[in-house]
Amino acid sequence: MSTTGQIIRCKAAVAWEAGKPLVMEEVEVAPPQKHEVRIKILFTSLCHTDVYFWEAKGQTPLFPRIFGHEAGGIVESIGEGVTDLAPGDHVLPIFTGECGDCRHCHSEESNMCDLLRINTERGGMIHDGESRFSIDGKPIYHFVGTSTFSEYTVVHSGQVAKINPEAPLDKVCIVSCGLSTGLGATLNVAKPKKGQSVAIFGLGAVGLAAAEGARIAGAGRIIGVDLNPKRFEEAKKFGVTEFVNPKDHEKPVQQVIAEMTDGGVDRSVECTGSVQAMIQAFECVHDGWGVAVLVGVPSKDDAFKSHPMNFLNERTLKGTFFGNYKPKTDIPGVVEKYMNKELDIEKFITHTVPFSEINKAFDYMLKGEGIRCIITMGA
């Protein structure tokens, strides 16, 4: 392309300080360096992780910053050493990566790349520690290596999944974070068998994706657990068959679920980050074969306890990161599930806003309205 090797000036939504509305600015985006690609972002989405770090609660604030990590776009140019991507490729930038060389990347069991696993504190690129974004010569920091709230962004090639060019980017952009996290937690880690019962704790976007995974797996009963009864009607679209609101019961939730299911569910997936929910999710699975999977991210100092007999009675507790999907190897296959009509993505998308109105997406999420809001970059 004619812009190869040159600085690109484009619009970006910049967070100048914590919790303040993003400001539309003209930024300069430097060309990609070694092992990097520059991507023209066409559609992006807002995830709760963006909001959490924008609010700067409980972590080192880093501003000014360009947030955004669920997105779809087209490769504009590539840096030195990039061999698996080319200008024109349709891609999803991803908040974690796959270098292909470390022990984790060589393991069939792990997706936690030593080089490129998520780093929320890094504001520059791995190659040289510098930012590729600037305004009047002053750097604007990156976020999780993606920074998709910009018309152009620079991403390490190990964090870029090349996908089917026929896939609509305004839909599959949400595959790059929350949807895959929940879907993979069920399909890749909990692995319910056809006809089994599954409890999902937390019916936000990730929990609904976990429920979708249970539906795809052919679960017989999918029990949704949430403190917000407004979420129950929406969750039916994702295969949830029964609902439990802990507020409606005097007994512990794990006891309620055990009574509903003749001793406990076969699988549970916890998507809240609450340690109380983690205990409930573990203790509500059936002895002998029950498997509980933790997805939600707890607070820094959290801890929970459960009696060792719960393990000795052959219950299994597992954790997962990004649904155990390897970004470059596996995410194209999740897109193919959508293309083959095995996976329904449209029902996750409840709002669409033009890029100029990106702050509306934050408003929807802060009010708890909808599941995913697509931000159209050209608008």
Q: How far is CA 212 from the centre of its chain?
A: 15
Q: Which of 69, 90, 104, 215 is catalytic?
A: 69
| Structural fold of domain 179-321 | Rossmann fold (3.40.50)
**How far is the C-alpha of 135 from the C-alpha of 9, rounded, in Å?**
10
> Which residues of the chain are in CATH 3.90.180.10 domains?
8-174+345-376
At residue 78's C-alpha, the angle toward residues 77 and 83, to 5°, is 135
102 is catalytic: yes
61, 174 contact by CB (below 8 A): no
pLDDT band at residue 379 under the 50/70/90 scheme: low
Residue 292: its H or E element = strand 291-294
- Residue 300 has which token pair? 């820094």
The verdict on whether 48 is a catalytic residue reads yes
User: Which of the residues 35, 98, 105, 315 is marked catalytic?
Assistant: 105
Q: Which of 70, 98, 151, 283 is catalytic?
A: 70
Q: What topology does CATH give the domain 8-174+345-376?
A: Quinone Oxidoreductase; Chain A, domain 1 (3.90.180)
- pTM exceeds cut of 0.75: yes
Confirm if 278 and 304 have CB atoms less than 8 A apart: yes
Question: How confident is the model over 104-125, as a mean pLDDT?
Answer: 96
What's the chain's average pLDDT? Answer: 96
Q: Among this protein's residues, is 65 annotated catalytic?
A: no
What are the pLDDT digits (tens) for 73-107?
Answer: 999 999 999 999 999 999 999 999 999 999 999 99
| Given 96, 113, 148, 270, the catalytic residue | 113
Active-site residue 127, yes or no? Answer: no
Range list for CATH 3.40.50.720 in the chain: 179-321
Neighbours of 120 (CB within 10 A): 15
Taking only the tens place, the pLDDT of each residue in 304-328 is 999 999 999 999 999 999 999 999 9
How is residue 339 written in tokens?
């293309």
Count other Cβ atoms within 10 Å, centred on residue 309: 9
Backbone angles phi, psi at 324, to 5 degrees: 60, 20
Task: Name the residue with tokens 């620079």.
Answer: 154
SS3 call for 133: strand
Looking at 44, 98, 99, 153, which residue is catalytic?
99
How far apart, in whole angstroms, are the C-alpha atoms of residue 253 and residue 248?
A: 10
**Active-site position among 102, 127, 242, 376:** 102
Give the residue-averaged pLDDT of 271-281.
Answer: 96
Active-site residue, 10 included:
no
pLDDT in tens, 159-190: 999 999 999 999 999 999 999 999 999 999 99
Is residue 21 pLDDT above 90, yes or no? yes
Catalytic, out of 173, 177, 271, 284: 177
Active site residue 177: yes
Assess whether 215 carries a catalytic annotation: no
Residue with tokens 């976007």: 205
pLDDT at 299 over 90: no
Active site residue 173: no
Sheet architecture: strand order including 23-29: 8-14, 23-29, 133-135, 138-140
- The DSSP code sequence of 202-267 is --SHHHHHHHHHHHHHT-SEEEEE-S-TTHHHHHGGGT--EEE-GGG-SS-HHHHHHHHTTS-BSE
27 pLDDT tier (thresholds 50, 70, 90)? very high
Residue 284 annotated in active site:
no
Which is the catalytic residue, given 10, 25, 48, 316?
48
How does residue 50 score in pLDDT terms, banded at 50, 70 and 90? very high
Instruction: Judge contact between 261 and 283, C-beta under 8 A.
Output: no
Annotated active-site residue 47? The verdict is yes
Interatomic CA distance for residues 172 and 130, integer angstroms: 30
